[in-house]
């Protein structure tokens, strides 16, 4: 790739997010949010698991109040845990109070421990995805002008005017991440930001192998076909399972090759893995954007400081 190509404008500009399960060691949550903002990250993401981090609503609201430009977002809210009429009001409030600095990640729920430990029934994957689809539509209708009437298999809304209305007309951007064809098709039609991920059905090695380049080729092609002309307006999100900045990553790559059951080059090209020197990581991100369209990259909080030079090099380009 030439220097001219590297500096050229691209329709999908890079931005970066950090998923935080708690503050940086020895720091408050508010100070951690301010440091994430100062490092140039676009977004602070919070998870939604009963055993990880703050409650996402309080965590997002506090981080937004402590910063001036940082976007806050859940990655992702499990729809089974909150009724959409209740959630819409809380999310719209954060959006208004932050001046429109909210994105909304939605998911069908997948972690068995969340369900078994809380006593919330864990329905079949098909039912959970059905519920996610209805949940998304209800939120979008409550964010829009006018009253909402909705009749589905899981939710029934009658003459409810969602208040307050979000700052952004139609509501904050919706993020839907998935690895299965059905959920990706829905995301292609209804989401603003799509996480094209490996499937979690098989767990372990099957999940890892579903993140290899040829499988991602197929998933992106599916989203492109389903979205049609809308595809060019979508932002593609890559959540990094493994992220490491180092001049020598051979030990990490060897371990990942065994875990994936795949060649080193394929592991290094997977969009859920990003390891190497800062310059190598920059090149890999440029290659992934050209091949698949990934431009919204999410690292874990433990890697945020190490990746700050990459953020400085690529954000907005």
Q: Is residue 87 part of a domain?
A: yes
Mean pLDDT of the residues in the chain: 94
pLDDT tens for 6-58 read 444 568 999 999 999 999 999 999 999 999 999 999 999 999 999 988 999 99
* 110-133 mean pLDDT: 96
Three-state SS string across the chain, please?
A: CCHHHHHCCCCCCCEEEEECCCCCCCCCHHHHHHHHHHCCCCEEEECCECCECCCHHHHHHHHHHHCCCCEEEECCEEHHHCCHHHHHHHHHHHHHHCCCCECEEEECCCCHHHHHHHCCCCCCHHHHHHHHHHHHHHHHHHHCCCCEEEECCCCEEEEECCCCCCCCCCCCCEEEEECCHHHHHHHHHHCCEEEECCCCCCCHHHHHHCCCHHHHHHHHHHHHHHHHHHHHHCEEEEECCEEEECCCCHHHHHHHHHHHCCCHHHHHHCCCEEEECHHHHHHHHHHHHHHCCEEEEEEEHHHHHHHHHHHHHHCCC
Q: Is residue 268 part of a domain?
A: no
Rounded Cα gap, residues 133 and 152, in angstroms: 10
pLDDT of residue 206: 84
pLDDT tens for 145-170 read 999 999 999 999 999 999 999 998 89
pLDDT of residue 38: 98
pLDDT of residue 82: 97
pLDDT of residue 3: 34
pLDDT of residue 134: 98
Q: How confident is the model at residue 2 (pLDDT cuts 50, 70, 90)?
A: very low
pLDDT of residue 6: 41
Q: Is residue 153 part of a domain?
A: yes
Of the listed ranges 31-45, 201-215, 222-236, 271-285, the least confidently predicted one is 201-215
pLDDT of residue 317: 96
Please report where in the chains the tokens 């919204």 appear, as a residue: 296
pLDDT of residue 138: 98
Q: Is residue 265 part of a domain?
A: no
Q: Is residue 264 part of a domain?
A: no
pLDDT tens for 67-83 read 999 999 999 999 999 99
Q: Is residue 249 part of a domain?
A: no
Q: Is residue 80 part of a domain?
A: yes
Containing structural domain, residue 138: 3-240+278-314
Check pLDDT > 50 for residue 94: yes
Check pLDDT > 80 for residue 4: no
Check pLDDT > 80 for residue 204: no
Check pLDDT > 90 for residue 225: yes
Q: How confident is the model at residue 173 (pLDDT cuts 50, 70, 90)?
A: very high
pLDDT of residue 294: 98
Check pLDDT > 80 for residue 5: no
Total structural domains within the chain: 1
The CATH number of the domain holding residue 102 is 3.20.20.30
pTM, two decimals, is 0.94
pLDDT of residue 9: 58
């Amino acid at each position: 790739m030439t220097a001219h190509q590297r500096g050229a404008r691209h329709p999908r500009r890079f931005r970066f997010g950090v998923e935080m399960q708690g503050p940086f060691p020895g720091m408050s949550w508010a100070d951690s949010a301010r440091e994430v903002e100062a490092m140039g990250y676009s977004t602070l993401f919070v998870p939604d698991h009963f055993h990880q981090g703050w409650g996402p609503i309080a965590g997002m609201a506090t981080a937004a109040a402590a910063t001036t430009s940082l976007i806050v977002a859940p990655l992702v809210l499990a729809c089974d845990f909150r009724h959409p009429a209740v959630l819409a009001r809380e999310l719209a409030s954060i959006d208004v109070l932050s001046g429109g600095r909210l994105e909304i990640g939605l998911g069908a729920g997948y972690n068995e421990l969340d369900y078994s430990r809380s006593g919330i029934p864990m329905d079949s994957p098909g039912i959970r995805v059905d519920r996610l689809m209805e949940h998304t539509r209800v939120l979008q209708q409550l964010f829009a002008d006018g009253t909402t009437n909705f009749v589905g298999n899981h939710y029934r809304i009658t003459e409810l005017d969602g208040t307050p209305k979000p700052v952004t007309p139609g509501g904050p951007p919706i993020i839907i991440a998935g690895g299965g064809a059905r959920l990706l098709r829905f995301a292609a039609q209804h989401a603003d930001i799509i996480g094209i991920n490996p499937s979690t059905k098989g767990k372990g090695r099957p999940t890892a192998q579903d993140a290899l380049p040829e499988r991602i080729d197929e998933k992106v092609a599916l989203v492109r076909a389903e979205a049609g002309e809308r595809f060019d307006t979508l932002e593609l999100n890559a959540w990094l399972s493994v992220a490491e900045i180092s001049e020598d990553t051979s030990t990490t790559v060897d371990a990942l090759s065994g875990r994936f059951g795949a060649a080193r080059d394929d592991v290094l090209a997977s969009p859920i893995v990003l390891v190497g020197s800062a310059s190598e990581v920059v090149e890999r991100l440029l290659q992934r954007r050209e091949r698949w369209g990934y431009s919204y990259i999410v690292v874990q909080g433990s890697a945020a400081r190490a990746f700050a030079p990459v953020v400085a090099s690529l954000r907005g380009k």
